[in-house]
Structure 1
Amino acid sequence: MNLVLFEEHELQTGGLLVLSDVRAEHIRKVLGLLVDDSLRIGMINGTLGRGTVLSIDAEAVTLAVQLDREPPPLVPVELILALPRPIMLQRILKQAATIGVGRIHLLRSAKVEKSFFHSPALLPEKIRERLLEGLAQATVDTRLPEVCIHPLFKVFVQDALPELEGCRLLAHPGVLPTLPEVFPRSKERILLAVGPEGGWNDYEVSCFLEQGFAAFAMGSRILHVDTAVAVLLGQLALLRTLTAG
């Protein structure tokens, strides 16, 4: 927890924040802060700043909060993911929040097990928990990514996808161009579609291609979805830096 996050309603009159949960325990036992020490702090979906310890004991930690900084721009990438296994989903949500992805679409694919859509990992409170973990790791952002769940692939492709803006890229195994070959030279946002570990099926690929996606391959190795997402986000960030200006 490199950044202590709090809800707007927790902030009391005069900029006081009283913590008595795991955040207080982290401040006491992990950070080892004392009165007059300060730490990074941020209001969820709001500004960032510092919190100065006014009092600390076994019951609670009271901070004087001063917020004076806006979070940086979000990464210009919107993720479209075939719903992965719950354990991988939790990792991806955390990674995406840490990196600064603004929106994630989770959808059904032919190779996605139906049971995945009934996993507790998809409960709003569980999703929020993973996203907050990612933000706390990043230290510089407070904005929770929007997570959209689409249980029907065809409905997503026909109704939701046409409304999304950006350069459209489809990760898929096979003899295809590499990411640098399909990467746009413009600065527009990117819609990145990543399928299950077995890849999208032919029908799904054709649907994406009809919607203007450019397919590319990551190489001959089959990666876990969470690994693939992290690698792709890193590659996109590097390519955008190299082609800037």
Structure 2
Amino acid sequence: MNLVLLETADFIAPDRARLDGRRLQHIQQVHRAGAGDSLRIGLLDGQIGSGRICELNDDFAELQVEFHRDPPPGLPLALILALPRPKMLKRTIQHATALGVKKLYLINAYRVEKSYWQTPWLDGDKLREQCLLGLEQAVDTRMPQIELRKRFKPFVEDELPAIAAESRKLVAHPVTDTPCPVDITSPTTLAIGPEGGFIPYEVEKLQETGFDAVHLGPRILRVETALPVLLGRLFPGR
């Protein structure tokens, strides 16, 4: 936890917050902080600052807080991601959030097993928990927007044109001659398929919407590996 995230409900006064549960445990066991110590804090969807511990006991930590800078800007990206298998979903959400993705669509695809959509990790509270972990890691405060779309064709035909309007449209696909571009500055919509990739029909539907297929080289990567590689290539240093 590189950032202690606060929410509105934590405040007991305009400049005082009281924390318990997981955050209290982290302050005690990882930061090994005590009264008088200062921690880096952030207000969820707000600014970043510092919090001085006024009181610390087994039940709560009380911090005097002040905020003085904005969080880092999000990536100029809409990420279209075929739903990963549940075991990978948690890590992928954390990675995407930590890397600055602010708009994420989890979609269906032919190679996405139907059982994946039944996982409890798609519950709103569970997704939010993984996003918080990603924000804490990256010292960011702005929550991403996550949308679920269980039908591929209606999404691509009816919604995606508006989502991707006035952006560069890319689909990661190993069977193409075009390498992934590097260090682009324009708004981008990036589609990443499931394990095994999008099937040809799905790639063709995306191409009909204006997407260009790009590859990362001869190696076939897992989604959780391909995602940071793609974003690091497209937006280095952001």
Deviation at 1:184, TM superposition (A): 8.4
> Is the 2:78–2:103 contact (alpha carbons within 8 Å) kept by the matching residues of 1?
yes
Alignment of 1:118-197 (within 5 A): 118-139=118-139, 141-164=140-163, 165=165, 166-180=167-181, 187-197=185-195
Once the two structures are superposed, residues 138-158 of structure 1 have per-residue CA deviations (whole angstroms, 9 ceiling, x without a partner) of: 12x101111010000011111
Change (3 A) 1:224 1:43: same
In structure 2, give the amino acid aligned to 1:160: E
Deviation at 1:169, TM superposition (A): 0.4
> Is the 1:167–1:184 contact (alpha carbons within 8 Å) kept by the matching residues of 2?
no
Q: Which residue of 2 aligns with 1:206?
A: 204
CA distance in 2, matches of 1:19, 1:193: 39
CA distance in 2, matches of 1:58, 1:175: 58
Q: Which residue of 2 aligns with 1:26?
A: 26
Runs of 4+ in 1 over 4 A off after TM superposition: none
What are structure 1's unaligned runs of at least 5 residues?
Answer: none
CA distance in 1, matches of 2:177, 2:88: 26
- Secondary structure of the structure 1 residue equivalent to 2:177: coil
Higher mean C-alpha deviation, range 26-35 or range 127-136: 26-35
CA distance in 1, matches of 2:125, 2:28: 26
- Secondary structure of the structure 2 residue equivalent to 1:101: coil
Give the RMSD, CA atoms, in angstroms: 1.5
> Is the 2:183–2:235 contact (alpha carbons within 8 Å) kept by the matching residues of 1?
no
CA distance in 1, matches of 2:201, 2:176: 18
> Is the 2:157–2:209 contact (alpha carbons within 8 Å) kept by the matching residues of 1?
no
CA distance in 1, matches of 2:130, 2:174: 29
CA distance in 1, matches of 2:11, 2:160: 39
CA distance in 1, matches of 2:54, 2:103: 37
Q: Which residue of 2 aligns with 1:108?
A: 108
CA distance in 1, matches of 2:120, 2:217: 33
CA distance in 2, matches of 1:201, 1:14: 54
Aligned residues: 236
CA distance in 1, matches of 2:126, 2:176: 38
CA distance in 1, matches of 2:99, 2:192: 17
Alignment of 1:76-115 (within 5 A): 76-115=76-115
CA distance in 1, matches of 2:55, 2:78: 42
In structure 2, give the amino acid aligned to 1:214: D
In structure 2, give the amino acid aligned to 1:145: P
CA distance in 1, matches of 2:179, 2:136: 33
Deviation at 1:92, TM superposition (A): 1.1
Deviation at 1:14, TM superposition (A): 3.5
Percent of residue pairs identical: 42
